[in-house]
Copies of this chain bind each other. A is one copy, B any other.
Amino acid sequence: MTREPALRADARRNHHLIITTAAAVFAEDGLDVPMEAIARRAGVGVGTLYRRFPDRGELIAAVAAHTFRAVLEDVRAAAAAAPTPWDALTRLLSGSENLRLTVHLAFLSPHTWTRVHSASESREIHDEMMAALETLVNDARREGSIRADVGTEEVLGLVSWVLAAPASAAESVPRWLELVLDGLRAHRY
């Protein structure tokens, strides 16, 4: 189970630091930022970064796995806290920074995405995250909050894309989301 021989405390700290830093930098400047920029911002040398993540692809996959996991937790928290599935969904969409980061990653170049998926760890957690999201949407449909004629995948795809809007459009996103959700809602009249 634990293939990795358990990192030293300082190493684990750095590992985590690099992933969160990389997540932030990717979100801000895209996936093409120099590796050195990530290292600098994390306060480590490039060598350290490369020791943990042999190339950019590995780093991206690690960031992806990390954010997938965070989203999964947010989904569960939202489902637990909200009175109805619909409510959970809207809270999640407007409140989860992790989800925003994740959809950014989700719309990467197919090539990069393939590499993310070939890392079994990220693939597994990705699937688990997707299952949780689908459950949430399905529950909302079953309770009658979502139009019966739109599929779960359509809902997730569309709202994901809206969330994936770039920083330059960040101000508009909440309203766009509102309009889209309103359009997906059943029994409007």
Contacts and interface: CB of A to CB of B under 8 A. Distances in A.
Contacts of A95: none
Contacts of A165: 107, 161
A179 B184 contact: yes
Contacts of A4: none
Interface stretch (A86-94, A123-131, A167-175): A167-175
B161 A109 contact: no
Which of A110, A167, A179, A182: most chain B CB closer than 10 A?
A179
Nearest to A175: B154
A148 interface: no
Given A30-B109, A32-B32, A189-B189, A169 B157 contact: yes
A150 B162 contact: no
Q: How many residues of A sit at the interface, in one of the four size bands?
A: 20 to 34
A158 interface: yes
Given A154-B179, A158-B179, A161-B162, 18 more contacts: A107-B166, A107-B169, A110-B168, A113-B168, A150-B179, A154-B175, A157-B169, A157-B172, A158-B176, A158-B180, A161-B161, A161-B165, A161-B176, A162-B162, A180-B180, A183-B184, A188-B189, A189-B189
